[in-house]
């Protein structure tokens, strides 16, 4: 009970911190752009009026209320801020690799607002990223959805507080490598992965019942029931079963994807998104029917065995089969040109402009449960916007300005080159990195491997 009180106090403390965070909201009138609304077609020579961080009007010949700056976007394209449904940017650590289920861990506790990767993502038009736990565990930690409000030193400012909870799951090579082969504990196989999931959810059901029984008994007069011990890990699994958390599951092979669909259906879970999903195309009808779709790479393959039988046509096949499909980065490099990654679905599968743009805007918004707030240019939505020179799906396109909540955080014309918020006073010579560790899905699991396998750690996704 004492523990529980501490927990409550901590929670209260946190909620005050979050409530007190005053994020900046801006007002601006962007004029004469080709407006790619994504959900409501393309509007030529149109204006978008933003007030206090919200899109107030979309139309022609709008005039700026007094005090609102006007930006001339003649000849340029305006699109919704790009949303990356899989990223590890701005996280201090990624993996809590100590057990096959670590549902209690929260990425919002390790958000690093100083990481220059946030600014670099903005320079690629990305306004929201889904900062995920790694893939070392079958049930990983809870992810956090970030809004790229660059410049604040308060982690709370870059967290999208009105986004729903999501959690990382992982199937296949990574969890079996870390636990089965690294530590000699279940799971070592895809059979074990299923067992971990089913055992975990059944334990959560028992836990839920214990609390229900206790609550019922304690409402009776003169009861002497002792409360069950609070368990954050099991409570989180209960929250998943009750539909309060969206699962985002790292997955590659069709069989494991199909397995999780079956587990989810057996436990009545329908808030399920697959991540990476390289063989999703093989079970596209099932993904379309039973899940919130898949978030995939545009063209990555062959970096490990479970992605050897991949196709760059994955996103197109999923889309044509009716699955909600998004294109993500999982990379500090790729996140900077997701508009180009989305365009690859036109080379590989002939997607229309609207389909391709949806994959980096409204579709990831749906998968993160924030489609009512962002992901398209519609009146009433949050003003996350990007101005492009050239159509964003052209390989020659260049993001010019990026807005979050109507505040400009990137401007190609006026920004300084050096965007670091904090420079180490002890760092005499700035280090030069030839191979930026930009893929971090398996970061923090190196301890579990011998030196030989460490050298093979180029591929961590």
Q: How far is the CB of 344 from other proteins (least distance, A)?
A: 6
Give the range of 26-34, 133-141, 293-301, 377-385 binding other proteins by CB under 8 A: 293-301
Among 31, 108, 120, 130, binds other proteins (CB under 8 A): 120
Distance of CA 129 to the CA centre of its chain: 5
The reply to whether 435 sits near other proteins by the rule CB under 8 A is yes
Contact 302, 310 (CB under 8 A): yes
Sites for other proteins among residues 329-358 (CB under 8 A): 332-333, 336-337, 340, 343-344, 346-349
The reply to whether 299 sits near other proteins by the rule CB under 8 A is yes
The reply to whether 244 sits near other proteins by the rule CB under 8 A is no
Among 230, 241, 394, 449, binds other proteins (CB under 8 A): 394
> Rounded CA gap, 51 and 87, in Å?
29
Give the range of 95-103, 213-221, 379-387, 432-440 binding other proteins by CB under 8 A: 432-440
The reply to whether 205 sits near other proteins by the rule CB under 8 A is no
The pattern of x and - marking residues 399 through 418 that bind other proteins according to CB under 8 A reads ------------------xx
Contact 132, 461 (CB under 8 A): no
The reply to whether 428 sits near other proteins by the rule CB under 8 A is yes
Three-state secondary structure call for residue 127: strand
Comparison of 101 and 121: residue with beta carbon closer to other proteins: 121
The reply to whether 437 sits near other proteins by the rule CB under 8 A is yes
Comparison of 165 and 340: residue with beta carbon closer to other proteins: 340
Q: How far is the CB of 326 from other proteins (least distance, A)?
A: 17
The position carrying tokens 């100590």 is: 98
Three-state secondary structure call for residue 431: coil
Q: Which helix (H) or strand (E) holds 440?
A: none
Among 40, 52, 153, 436, binds other proteins (CB under 8 A): 436
Sites for other proteins among residues 305-324 (CB under 8 A): 305, 308-313, 316-317, 320-321
* 178 DSSP 8-state letter: I
> Rounded CA gap, 191 and 170, in Å?
13
The reply to whether 420 sits near other proteins by the rule CB under 8 A is yes
> 169 CB contacts (<8 Å, ≥6 apart)?
138, 139, 140, 197, 247, 248, 249, 250, 260
Give the range of 98-106, 130-138, 233-241, 393-401 binding other proteins by CB under 8 A: 393-401
Cα four-point dihedral sign 105, 85, 146, 335: positive
Comparison of 45 and 394: residue with beta carbon closer to other proteins: 394
* 213 DSSP 8-state letter: H
Q: How far is the CB of 62 from other proteins (least distance, A)?
A: 31
Contact 358, 45 (CB under 8 A): no
Comparison of 139 and 318: residue with beta carbon closer to other proteins: 318
Task: Tally the residues of the chain.
Answer: 461
For residues 274-312, one letter each, b for 16 or more C-beta atoms within 10 angstroms of the residue's C-beta and e for the rest, the string is: bbbbbbbbbbbebbbebbbbbbbbbbbeebbebbeebbb
> 376 CB contacts (<8 Å, ≥6 apart)?
37, 38, 39, 40, 80, 361, 362, 365
Q: How far is the CB of 260 from other proteins (least distance, A)?
A: 17
The reply to whether 116 sits near other proteins by the rule CB under 8 A is yes
Among 82, 123, 132, 260, binds other proteins (CB under 8 A): 123
Sites for other proteins among residues 367-386 (CB under 8 A): none
What string of H, E and C letters represents the secondary structure of 315-369? HHHHHHCCCCEEECCCCCCHHHHHHHHHHHHHHCCCCCHHHHHHCCCHHHHHHCC
Give the range of 2-10, 14-22, 214-222, 452-460 binding other proteins by CB under 8 A: 452-460
Enumerate binding residues for other proteins (CB under 8 A): 116, 119-120, 123-124, 281-282, 284-286, 288-289, 299-305, 308-313, 316-317, 320-321, 332-333, 336-337, 340, 343-344, 346-349, 390, 393-398, 417-420, 428-438, 446, 456, 458-459
């Amino acid at each position: 009970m004492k523990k529980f009180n501490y927990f409550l106090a901590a929670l209260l403390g946190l909620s005050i911190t979050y409530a007190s965070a005053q994020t900046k909201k801006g007002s601006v009138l962007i004029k004469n752009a080709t407006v790619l609304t994504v959900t409501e077609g393309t509007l030529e020579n149109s204006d978008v009026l933003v007030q206090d961080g919200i899109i107030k009007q979309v139309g022609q010949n709008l005039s700026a209320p007094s005090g609102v700056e006007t930006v001339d976007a003649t000849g340029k394209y305006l699109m919704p801020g790009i949303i990356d449904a899989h990223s590890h940017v701005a996280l201090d650590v990624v993996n809590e690799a100590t057990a096959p289920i670590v549902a209690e861990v929260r990425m919002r506790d390790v958000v690093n607002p100083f990481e220059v990767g946030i600014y670099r993502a903005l320079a690629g038009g990305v306004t929201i990223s889904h900062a995920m736990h790694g893939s070392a565990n079958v049930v990983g930690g809870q992810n956090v959805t970030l809004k790229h409000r660059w410049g604040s030193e308060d982690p709370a400012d870059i967290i999208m507080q009105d986004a729903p909870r999501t959690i990382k799951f992982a199937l296949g090579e990574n969890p079996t490598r870390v636990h089965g082969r690294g530590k000699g504990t279940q799971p070592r196989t895809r059979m074990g992965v299923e067992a971990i999931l089913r055992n975990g959810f059944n334990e959560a059901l028992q836990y839920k019942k214990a609390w229900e029984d206790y609550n019922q008994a304690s409402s009776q007069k003169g009861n002497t029931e002792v409360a069950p011990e609070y368990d954050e890990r099991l409570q989180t699994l209960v929250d998943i079963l009750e539909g309060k958390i969206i699962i985002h599951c790292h997955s590659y092979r069709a069989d494991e994807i199909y397995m999780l669909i079956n587990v989810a259906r057996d436990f009545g879970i329908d808030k399920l998104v697959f991540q990476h999903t390289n063989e999703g195309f093989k079970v596209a009808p099932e993904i379309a029917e039973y899940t919130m779709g898949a978030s995939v790479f545009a063209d990555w393959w062959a970096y490990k065995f479970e992605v050897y039988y991949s196709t760059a046509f994955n996103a197109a096949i999923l889309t044509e089969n009716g699955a909600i499909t998004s294109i993500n980065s999982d990379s500090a490099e790729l996140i900077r040109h997701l508009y180009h990654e989305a365009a690859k679905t036109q080379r590989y599968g002939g997607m229309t402009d609207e389909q391709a743009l949806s994959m980096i805007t409204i579709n990831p918004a749906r998968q993160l449960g924030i489609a009512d707030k962002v992901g398209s240019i519609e009146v009433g939505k949050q003003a996350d916007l990007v101005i492009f020179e050239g159509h964003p799906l052209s390989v020659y396109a260049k993001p010019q300005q990026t807005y979050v909540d109507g505040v400009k955080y990137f401007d190609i014309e006026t920004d300084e080159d050096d965007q670091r918020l904090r420079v180490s006073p002890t760092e005499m010579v700035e280090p030069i990195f030839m191979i930026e560790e930009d893929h971090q899905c398996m970061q923090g699991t190196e301890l579990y491997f011998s030196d030989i396998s460490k050298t093979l750690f180029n591929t961590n996704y």
